[in-house]
Structure 1
Amino acid sequence: MSLANKTLFITGASRGIGREIALRAARDGANLVIAAKSAEPHPKLPGTIHSVADEVRAAGGQALALQLDVRDETAVAAAMARAAEHFGGIDALVNNAGAIKLAGVERLEPKRFDLMLQINTRAVMVCSQAALPYLKQSDSGHILSLSPPLNMDSKWFAQHGPYTVTKYGMSMLTLGMHEEFKRYRISVNALWPRTLIATAAIEFELGGRDAFKRARTPAIMADAAHAILASSGRRISGRLLIDEEILREQGQSDFEQYRFDPHGGPLMTDLFVD
């Protein structure tokens, strides 16, 4: 199972899980399109499209850094065209860009809901639509979105319903595209972590860096994404997967290696996971 010579277009790839997925694919010798808004260093958040592109090349892959706002469908279409021209096609789209604000309807500003809706749900449609002409030409096309299983327990709506709606929208589009793109033999899946992952989203929305003591590293999501993206013939498609689930299917059972802090407390399950 290798991604050698495959071209992956990853949104939100300047840090966190997107960056880790890129580096995992780079070790196979893949071509990575690092698409994100972060072209200049951020005072609080490490990583830019250029620094990750350099890391990809150092890991053995090829890289194209593209500054991109996934809310702009014209820019998305142009970025896909540039990526396909640069690498000779696109084999996989990873919808990793995301926005989060854990607030209920009473306190959430409408403009913040608009942002989450655009970057989460709408961007899956916009990016998938723009990538489709190139994915059709791949012998193993994939769309992978970072979104959760559809857990309808009311507790996942009670405190942050607006965010839940935008993430579940990504998952519902995944199920729809699995059926819609069946005739093109494109695999369409979603992936979500069982536990907290040590990323900026956790640091700023779910308890600060203390939460990292009960989290895993992004490497587990990268390995899980690799297992999905390296599969062929729609062997894996139409599934809303949990990272541990797909890795167990690949025969993996040791997950201690992914702990952020080997001496931390019990791992904390992520949102939407019982």
Structure 2
Amino acid sequence: MTEAAGRAAVVTGGTRGIGLAIASELVSRGVDVVAAGRTSSGFDAARAAVGVVGARGRVAGEAARVGRFECVAMDVRDYAQVERALAEAADLVGGIDILVNNASAISLTGTLETPVKRFDLMFDVNLRGTWLASRACLPHLLKAENPHILVLSPPLNLEPRWLAPHPAYTTSKYGMSLCMLGLAEEFRERGVAVNALWPRTVIATAAIDLLPDVDPAACRRPEIVADAAHWILTRPSRDVSGNFYIDEAVLAQAGVTDFDRYAVDPERELLMDLFVD
């Protein structure tokens, strides 16, 4: 295991939801984080949320270095903007050791119910955005001591039941997973770890408003994904690459036994996430 403190990370879609939880966890562990959001409208709220973590400034009860938290505006669909924003991010925190590809668009609709504009949005943000951000960060990652790319995408479960209800969304997310596999193998010999992480259960974020009949009380909080991400990102990069991680399994491997603390309501039966059997 390598130390997190002193490293620098970029989190796309990092100003809310799971992305903000990952950014907050990394900051609390001493990582300097740049959160990339499509617009600056959520920056103040994100800074306030991460400031609560920073004010604690303690890990395992001991004084610890708290990382910096910066924000940049970046629409992952715009190639020129991605290049500029990630160059700015590297300047802000002195390089890039970690990229978390979290930005995503969702529409759980069938083919006839999915507007072409929504199809384009999902592929532009999910697949193309992941590739663009990875491409822009790789020159920095190749200089890092323990470089990681983490993609928030699912295991490649090709059972038709995961494709039929929302083919456009599923194939866009599987595109992210295929991008991960390709990058992992392409840069394996150069020491860049590229992995995917997906939650076992539905996570209580604003995105559940887009899921039919989901009760937030039957979900887990984003912190479970953040804790799993931290564990992955502190592995030696040459030892772990090309893996499809599930948050609960990662934390069980890390020795976590109490998962009730992540539940919105520990008394409720949890809802399993998409693509997880």
How is 1:68-87 mapped onto 2 (pairs within 5 angstroms)?
68-87=74-93
What is the TM-score of this pair, normalised by structure 1? 0.93
CA distance in 2, matches of 1:129, 1:168: 18
Structure 2 residue matching 1:254: 3-state secondary structure: coil
Give the C-alpha shift of residue 233 in structure 1.
Answer: 3.5
Give the C-alpha shift of residue 57 in structure 1.
Answer: 4.5
1:21 aligns with 2:27: no
The letter for the 2-side match of 1:259 is: A
Give the C-alpha shift of residue 262 in structure 1.
Answer: 2.6
Decide whether the 8 Å contact of 1:35 with 1:49 is kept in 2. no
Q: Aligned to 2:96, which of 90, 95, 100?
A: 90
1:247 aligns with 2:248: no
Decide whether the 8 Å contact of 1:50 with 1:65 is kept in 2. no
Give the C-alpha shift of residue 54 in structure 1.
Answer: 4.0
Decide whether the 8 Å contact of 1:34 with 1:53 is kept in 2. no
Of 52-61 and 14-23, the range deviating more from structure 2: 52-61
Give the C-alpha shift of residue 249 in structure 1.
Answer: 1.5
Give the C-alpha shift of residue 250 in structure 1.
Answer: 1.2
Q: Report % sequence identity.
A: 44
How is 1:123-162 mapped onto 2 (pairs within 5 angstroms)?
123-162=129-168
The letter for the 1-side match of 2:269 is: P
Unaligned runs of 5+ in 1: 41-47
Aligned match of 2:45: 51
CA distance in 2, matches of 1:129, 1:242: 25
Aligned match of 1:215: 219
Q: Deviations over 1:55-78 (max 9, x none)?
A: 434513202210110001111111
Give the C-alpha shift of residue 206 in structure 1.
Answer: 3.5
Q: Aligned to 2:272, which of 228, 248, 269?
A: 269
Of 55-64 and 117-126, the range deviating more from structure 2: 55-64
Q: Aligned to 2:120, which of 89, 110, 114?
A: 114
Q: Deviations over 1:13-43 (max 9, x none)?
A: 1111000001101111110101012422xxx
Aligned match of 2:11: 10
Q: Aligned to 2:180, which of 174, 183, 193?
A: 174
Decide whether the 8 Å contact of 1:13 with 1:49 is kept in 2. no
Decide whether the 8 Å contact of 1:143 with 1:187 is kept in 2. yes
Aligned match of 2:229: 225
CA distance in 1, matches of 2:3, 2:50: 16
Structure 2 residue matching 1:253: 3-state secondary structure: coil
The letter for the 2-side match of 1:111 is: K
